[in-house]
Each structure stands twice: as structure tokens, then as C-alpha cells.
Amino acid sequence: MDLGQMHGWIVNELARRRSVAESMVSLIDQCEAAHPHSDWNKLRALPYSELSALLDWIQKPFREDPPEVPLKGLWFGLFNPCPDGRTPVADIYLCGSERFDSDPNDDSWAVGPEWWPNDRYANSAVLADMYRIAYRQGSRVTERKGGLGNNAEYPLVLGYGAFAVRNLLQQVEPSLMLGRSDSLGVAVGFDSGDFVLLGELAAGGLKPIDPTAKRPELSIEPVLEALRSSDGKKIFRAVFELHRFGERARVAVPELLRVASSDEFGLRQAAVNMLAGVAPDDPRAKAAALQALNDSSPFVRREALQALISIKVLSAADLARIKEMENDKDKDVARWSEIALRNIRLRGEAAEPEAAAYGGGI
């Protein structure tokens, strides 16, 4: 199944503003036409029109645990919890950010939300059943292998999340969710992947965002200031925002180098990754990634190997150092040594002359 095509279909269906049940039946018809399977009938029978429990859920955080600061964006995240501690299902949660970007391909504004309410999880019975049917949970192993799997999970979980939230926002008084904000950008998506923009919520309700509207140029100064903060969460969010600035993000290299030596391994990990992303040809970025191969955290060492794939010029000594990591005590780090070397060679870019002496060059 072409999941990208299904994503586009969901975006177009949102504009039709039909009921959740109508949109879901039509989506399942699309999926079945692309990938015939008997389990689509089970998925078609789920109670998509019963939204009362979700209506209670979406209002409760705003009533009992409202944001303390004005927000700019609401993120409805789709994820896979394990209610029994062992078996995953699908569910959706709500959080809020002081940032928002109307770019339909950029959800970095939702990373590290400022508002993380206690009652953020919907515990959606429909999403849970959708996942169980898709993966034939409770069936014998041989039967599970014939399930729809991600061919059902991806389009139906994303579609239901988007259609349901859009419908719920039409039923809730906007002032409850806006609080002290004039407007809120709203998006629904997988924490690990694709998302859709639902639009902008204002006093008059939810309206679509004009994709042709010119977006104001973002100022990088607030991000640089956040990188200099002593607040680890603020620094973490700032690191991930840098990719939105393209070539302008290179001015953050000195700050990223400082973060790369932080006491918090998560910040070191994020900084090493972003250094390679915004300044892959900067010798300081290469030096930081190579230094991170000695880090006490295996997560940072793995990130360093991944970052080195993007570094533009690597010498024979650099490649040899990467190969040494195949002896790392952490098996995932050792595996990434081979992955990094393979991808560096596949990149096929010119390297320092002496690199050609190592394994045929890159």
C-alpha cells in the first residue's frame, strides 16, 4: 500500500468536513481497494460515531489543568502505549507548545511541549481495537502473520485521530481551549513520523491554514538565547528548532559545541546530531563527533556514529576510528560502526586524499 498516497487522501478528506464515521468508512474503502483483505470488515464495524468519551477527554485538561502561559500550538500525538505492561495498542494524547510553525512538513515545534497536562491520554477504545485488529492480537502466530499490520495502523490511526479531533474542536467552545491565546495551530500525528495540520483555532472556531500564505522569517536570536540557558528542557527544544533555519543555523555552532560537553547525556546526544546537520563541513563538528565516540553513554556514542555519516571530509584515521567502534561493549554501538562505514562509502563524496587508502576511499 502507498502510505504516502493515503496521507494525501486524509488531508483532502479533512477539507470535506464530513462526519467521522463517513470519513472512516470512505478511508477503509480506499485502503481495501489498494490492499484487499478480510479484516477490513472488522475495522469498518468499529463505532466511529461514538465520540462522547473523547469529548469529555479533550475538555478535561483545559478545565482541571489549564496551561499557565499562552500557547501557540496544540499537538495531538498518536503513539503505542502498553496498558498491561506487555501488549501495545494505539492511543492519542494532548499537549501544548509555546511555538507553532504552519509548515506542513515540520513538526519540530511540538518537541518538548511546555504544557503537559496530567489527563492528556484519551484511552481511546476505538484506537486500541483498531490496533488489535490490525495486528490480530490474541490469534495464533501463524494467523498474526497474515494480519494487515501497518497497512491498517498507519492510515486508520492517523485518519481517525485527525477526523475525530477536527469534529471535537467543532463541539467545544473555543474560549475554553484558547485561554489567554488569540489563536492556536492544531496538528495530529505520530510521535515517530507523519502528521497533518488541522488548521488554526481562534474565537470563531477552527479554520484551515492557507498553504500559500507567506510565512514570516523566523528570528534565530531567541533560539540562540535558549541554547545559552541553564534550563535543560529549554536547551533541548532549542537544539531541535535549529534545523528550521537552514544555512543561518551555522551561527549556533559555538553554542552547540558547548552543549555537546553538557553533563546531561541527552543534550550531548542532541547537540552532536545537530552539529552534523547544520555544519557538516565544519572541522569543529567533525571533532565533536569523534570526541563523542569516547562518551560514557552508549546513546551518545551511537549518535556520534550516525552524525559522522553526514560529515563531509573524513580522513583514513577518522575511518579507522569509526571501525574501532565495532569492538564497543554496547552491541548497538558496535552495529552502528558497520552501518556508519557502509553509508559513508555509499555517499560517494570526495574525501581527503589519504582516505582512499582505507577500504577503497569514500
Following DSSP, what letter does each residue of 163-176 receive, concatenated? HHHHHHHHHS-HHH
Note whether residue 212 is domain-resident. no
Length of the chain equals 362
Question: Do 245 and 191 share a structural domain?
Answer: no
C-alpha cell at 172: 467545544
Q: Which of 158, 185, 207 is at the close of a domain?
A: 207
Question: Do 118 and 81 share a structural domain?
Answer: yes
Q: What is the pLDDT of residue 195?
A: 94
* Residue pLDDT tens, the chain, 362 long: 788 889 999 999 998 889 999 999 999 999 999 999 999 999 999 999 999 999 999 999 999 999 998 999 999 999 999 988 889 999 999 999 998 988 888 888 898 899 999 999 999 999 999 999 999 998 888 888 889 999 999 999 999 999 999 999 999 999 999 999 999 999 999 987 799 999 999 999 999 887 666 666 778 998 899 999 998 988 988 898 887 788 999 999 999 999 999 999 999 999 999 999 999 999 999 999 999 999 999 999 999 999 999 998 899 999 999 999 999 999 999 999 999 999 998 876 434 434 333 343 33
Question: Do 260 and 329 share a structural domain?
Answer: yes
Instruction: Return the amino acid letter for 262.
Output: S
Note whether residue 215 is domain-resident. no
Note whether residue 214 is domain-resident. no
With CA atoms as reference, report the closest residue to 111 among 195, 171, 28: 195
Domain boundaries, position 132: 3-207
Question: Do 229 and 134 share a structural domain?
Answer: no
Note whether residue 326 is domain-resident. yes
Question: Do 150 and 263 share a structural domain?
Answer: no
Note whether residue 272 is domain-resident. yes
Question: Do 353 and 247 share a structural domain?
Answer: yes
Question: Do 268 and 160 share a structural domain?
Answer: no
Note whether residue 213 is domain-resident. no
Note whether residue 362 is domain-resident. no
C-alpha cell at 188: 495530529
Question: Do 225 and 96 share a structural domain?
Answer: no
Question: Do 17 and 155 share a structural domain?
Answer: yes
Q: What is the pLDDT of residue 135?
A: 95
**Beta sheet of 195-202, edge-to-edge order:** 91-97, 73-79, 184-190, 195-202, 205-207
**What is the C-alpha separation between 311 and 34, in angstroms, rounded?**
40
Judge whether 288 and 257 are in contact, CB under 8 Å: yes
What are 192-200's contacts with CB under 8 Å, separation 24+?
A: 192/79, 194/7, 194/154, 194/158, 195/107, 196/7, 196/10, 196/11, 196/14, 196/104, 196/158, 196/162, 197/102, 197/104, 198/14, 198/162, 198/165, 198/166, 198/169, 200/102
Question: Do 270 and 154 share a structural domain?
Answer: no
Q: What is the pLDDT of residue 214?
A: 63
Question: Do 112 and 235 share a structural domain?
Answer: no
* CATH label of the domain that carries residue 257: 1.25.10.10
Q: Which of 207, 238, 264 is at the close of a domain?
A: 207
Question: Do 273 and 125 share a structural domain?
Answer: no
Q: What is the pLDDT of residue 216?
A: 66
**3-class state of residue 89 by DSSP:** coil
Contacts of 39 (CB under 8 A, 6+ apart): 133, 134, 136, 147, 148, 152
**What is the C-alpha separation between 315 and 351, in angstroms, rounded?**
7
Judge whether 306 and 340 are in contact, CB under 8 Å: yes
Note whether residue 31 is domain-resident. yes
How far CA 322 is from CA of 86, 187, 233, in Å, comes to 36, 40, 31
Q: What is the pLDDT of residue 101?
A: 87
With CA atoms as reference, report the closest residue to 46 among 94, 1, 90: 90
* φ/ψ bin of 100: left (φ > 0), alpha (ψ from -120 to 50), beta (otherwise): beta
Q: Which of 158, 173, 207 is at the close of a domain?
A: 207
Q: What is the pLDDT of residue 211?
A: 61
Total domains in the fold of the chain:
2
Judge whether 217 and 224 are in contact, CB under 8 Å: no
Q: What is the pLDDT of residue 362?
A: 38
φ and ψ of 76, to 5 deg: -105, 105
**What is the C-alpha separation between 118 and 96, in angstroms, rounded?**
12
How far CA 144 is from CA of 3, 45, 149, in Å, comes to 21, 20, 9
